[in-house]
Structure 1
Amino acid sequence: MSGNLAFKRTRIAPTPSGYLHLGNAFSFAITVALAQQTGARIFLRIDDLDRERVRREYIEDIFETLDYLELPWDEGPKNYNEYETIYSQIHRLDLYHEALHSLRERDLVFACDCSRLDVLRRDAQGVYSGTCRKKKLPLGGVAYNWRLDTLAENTLAIRGLDGNTQYTILPTSMRYFVVRRKHGAPAYQLASVIDDVHYGVDFVVRGADLWESTLAQHYLANVQGYMGFLNSIFFHHPLLKSNSDSKLSKSAGATSIKYLREQGKTKAEVYQMIGHMLGLKHPISSWEELTP
């Protein structure tokens, strides 16, 4: 970490699409540890726009996991009722649609009727090549995604916690990324940027697997002129891997915090598991002992 950095606010941003696992716990813990070191307040943001996958028990699990692991946060919901009545992303839909309207007015989005299967048929890696860009499909069509026109190769400057700035361009895998899903729901990349701007987040901690999302979000912030987001500091932490060296997922029941709690694991034992998976030479038993 470079110098005596100080930040206003960071965030923990789980998605309630399953029970949280050890990888989520590590990401939250490293966020809390870095917040303590840099004076940042911690905002709890629950990314719940994918309403078809949201279940109350998954949201309750977020609060139970944070409490169980003694991970503090300063702002945001403290329980399910506060989440539902004040902090759910559905209460910020006007902000997302305002941004979408701005992109539409400046002719920066186009409608796309390609399904994921269509994209995979054209490219085995699932890279979208801009098939619908010149079709001029109506943006008012409810069955169409809106994609950002990323034809311009804007230079992206990502400021890191080490004091260095990495200059790059949008990767092929993120070309023409979706900003509005079919039937009008804002997409993750757009909503995440808007939320960070809205809540004044200036320090983002996330897994290394979200590097390309960071680039997509910087591209969008460039287009929209969100200088606060562009000047934020980003830290991409390593991922926890299973014994098979694969990324942990919410479908991996044996690594879910809920399962470990039910098996009688203590908080200290969970942190020891995380330390072991990270290959740390010294045992840890709390988030305070994590040193990025």
Structure 2
Amino acid sequence: MTRKIRTRIAPSPTGFLHLGTARTALFSWAFARHFGGDFILRIEDTDEARSTQEAVDQIIAAMKWLDLGYDEGPFYQMQRLDRYREVIASMLEAGTAYHCYCTPAELDEMREAQRARGDKPRYDGRWRPEPGKVLPPVPEGVPPVIRFRNPIDGDVTWDDLVKGPITISNRELDDLVIARPSSVPGQVGTPTYNFCVVVDDLDMQITHVIRGDDHVNNTPRQINILRALGAELPVYGHTPMILGPDGEKLSKRHGAVSVLQYEEGGYLPAAMINYLSRLGWSHGDDEVYSREQLVSWFDGTHLAKSAAQWDAAKLNWVNGQYIKATPDADLAPLVAAQFARRGIAAKADDHLARVCGLFKDRCATTVELADWAQMYFADVSPSAEDLATHVTDAVKPALATLADKLATVEWSKAAIAAAIKETLAAHSLKMPVLAHAARVLVCGRAQTPSLDAVLELFDKESAMKRLRAF
């Protein structure tokens, strides 16, 4: 291709940006970046009844969180109505579109009769102009739709970037409605999705359309409209859907939720990009790689023909790898944000960074990291079971000794470790017995990293107060 590569993502603001659309955006973005092209954001908001500003804001916020920067846009279809009407007027003049005065009741009757005959329900072309054909008289008071005059003969064939050659007969396609009725006599109503997307792709010089394979049936219609307009066709690539672990369509119970809920759930955007890119694309056996590597590899090949399967455990593993590799100082504000959602105030300072560094190897998300770190910023409530199991009468004298020794030492890991060792020797105890009891009191749980490392990051006064509370 000699033209500059231009891709787009065109979500509808009838809902939030979900995983499938995010993956499509990612593939389109990576493809454009690989070839030094442009990536465009378009908001397809012609469904006025269901489109909301809240959804628009969420889509843009999700794109920002994923760091899928777009070069142009966002463009809004409802701001381009004059352009669509201009193109429709030219098509009416050229005879590639026409007015249809069928009422909804007539269309229902038409389809019922076709079903009764065993035919595929479709528009029968009764208002389609043909040489020598006498059209019905225009009914009074019926606002018309405008239909595209689809070719009757021949096939539509394209070489799909993912699926390979696809051919659909024009006889399978009826005359598509490209503009809805208007309440204003003589005016073209709101154009439909399949028409607007064609004009947008034409005007925005889109060279590659990467989208879900639920759009395969739209593609021959859009190709025919583009040909009617004398336009150069883009390359189409239709990626299979993402399935849940049970092989069914991804649903909310699997994770088909707003992308931004993954931010709240403690996932890193780089990890989400990494994981989403592996759903339907691969580079050998590579599992964890950078955005830069993804861009350098993503040339449109190795896109899977079969559906990808969502695996929450695999996402957690990938996210855990990114958390381990993230500098402690960069994790601190993410954990502070998790605290803020819980009503806990904490500064993203060096202390919180050190806390993150102590626990991050144990965590798959920043929510889990905040769960660990919370002991330093909020009161703990050991369970009755842990207290009964670990803070026994047999260990309480040793806890008192440890508290006395810690009260007099410099608050450092080495000094704390020495005080613990001396206490164990004085009471002839093994480390787990004393450590578990101290952890339950100070940390609210029996299992943590080494006791000296955990205690060192506490404020000494707070740690002593908790240690003596038995």
TM-score, normalised relative to structure 2? 0.51
Q: Compared with structure 1, are the counterparts of its residues 151 and 215 closer, same or farther at alpha carbon in structure 2 (3 Å cutoff)?
A: closer
Q: Does residue 21 of the first structure (1) align with residue 21 of the second (2)?
A: no
Q: Compared with structure 1, are the counterparts of its residues 19 and 149 closer, same or farther at alpha carbon in structure 2 (3 Å cutoff)?
A: same
Distance 1:102 1:257 in 2: 41
Deviation at 1:131, TM superposition (A): 5.8
Deviation at 1:154, TM superposition (A): 4.2
Deviation at 1:152, TM superposition (A): 1.9
Of 259-268 and 175-184, the range deviating more from structure 2: 259-268
2:84 is aligned, of 96, 110, 114, to 96
* Greater fraction helix: 2
Residue aligning to 2:93 = 105
Distance 1:120 1:240 in 2: 33
Equivalent position amino acid for 1:128 in 2: R
Q: Is the 8 A contact 2:274 2:291 kept in 1?
A: no
Q: Specify which structure has the bigger relative contact order, considering alpha-carbon pairs within 8 angstroms and separated by 6 or more residues.
A: 1
Q: Compared with structure 1, are the counterparts of its residues 195 and 277 closer, same or farther at alpha carbon in structure 2 (3 Å cutoff)?
A: closer
Deviation at 1:56, TM superposition (A): 0.9
Residue aligning to 1:235 = 237
Q: Compared with structure 1, are the counterparts of its residues 101 and 181 closer, same or farther at alpha carbon in structure 2 (3 Å cutoff)?
A: same
Q: Is the 8 A contact 1:254 1:260 kept in 2?
A: no
Q: Please give the residue correspondences for 1:210-229 in structure 2 after superposition, counting only pairs within 5 Å.
A: 210-226=215-231, 228=232
Q: Does residue 44 of the first structure (1) align with residue 5 of the second (2)?
A: no
Distance 1:237 1:191 in 2: 22
Q: Please give the residue correspondences for 1:147-226 in structure 2 after superposition, counting only pairs within 5 Å.
A: 147-161=147-161, 168-170=168-170, 172=172, 174-183=173-182, 184-226=189-231
Deviation at 1:153, TM superposition (A): 2.1
Q: Compared with structure 1, are the counterparts of its residues 215 and 141 closer, same or farther at alpha carbon in structure 2 (3 Å cutoff)?
A: farther
Q: Is the 8 A contact 1:5 1:38 kept in 2?
A: no
Q: Deviations over 1:36-72 (max 9, x none)?
A: 2222211111111111111111001111111111112
> Structure 2: which 5+ runs fail to align?
129-134, 183-188, 304-470
Of 13-22 and 145-154, the range deviating more from structure 2: 145-154
Residue aligning to 2:457 = none
Of 148-157 and 21-30, the range deviating more from structure 2: 148-157
Deviation at 1:270, TM superposition (A): 2.9
Q: Compared with structure 1, are the counterparts of its residues 254 and 109 closer, same or farther at alpha carbon in structure 2 (3 Å cutoff)?
A: same
Q: Please give the residue correspondences for 1:227-266 in structure 2 after superposition, counting only pairs within 5 Å.
A: 228=232, 230=233, 232-248=234-250, 254-266=256-268
Q: Compared with structure 1, are the counterparts of its residues 213 and 137 closer, same or farther at alpha carbon in structure 2 (3 Å cutoff)?
A: farther
Of 203-212 and 235-244, the range deviating more from structure 2: 235-244
Distance 2:199 2:90 in 1: 13
Equivalent position amino acid for 1:146 in 2: I
Deviation at 1:160, TM superposition (A): 4.3
Distance 1:45 1:198 in 2: 12
Instruction: Report which of the two structures shows the higher radius of gyration computed on alpha carbons.
Output: 2
Of 262-271 and 277-286, the range deviating more from structure 2: 277-286
Instruction: Report SS of the residue matched to 1:23.
Output: helix
Deviation at 1:244, TM superposition (A): 4.2
Q: Is the 8 A contact 1:268 1:284 kept in 2?
A: no
Distance 1:235 1:165 in 2: 11
Of 261-270 and 114-123, the range deviating more from structure 2: 114-123
Instruction: Report SS of the residue matched to 1:265.
Output: coil
Instruction: Report SS of the residue matched to 1:45.
Output: strand
Q: Is the 8 A contact 1:268 1:285 kept in 2?
A: no
Deviation at 1:243, TM superposition (A): 3.1
Q: Is the 8 A contact 1:144 1:182 kept in 2?
A: yes
Q: Is the 8 A contact 1:160 1:166 kept in 2?
A: yes
1:56 is aligned, of 50, 53, 59, to 53
Q: Percent identity?
A: 27
Deviation at 1:267, TM superposition (A): 1.8
Distance 1:139 1:210 in 2: 35
Over aligned residue pairs, what C-alpha RMSD do you find? Answer: 3.5
Distance 1:211 1:74 in 2: 27
Instruction: Report SS of the residue matched to 1:76.
Output: strand
Deviation at 1:214, TM superposition (A): 1.5
Equivalent position amino acid for 1:133 in 2: W
Deviation at 1:137, TM superposition (A): 6.8
Q: Deviations over 1:178-209 (max 9, x none)?
A: 11123211011111111111112122211222
Distance 2:274 2:153 in 1: 44
Q: Is the 8 A contact 1:21 1:248 kept in 2?
A: no
Equivalent position amino acid for 1:57 in 2: E
Of 260-269 and 186-195, the range deviating more from structure 2: 260-269
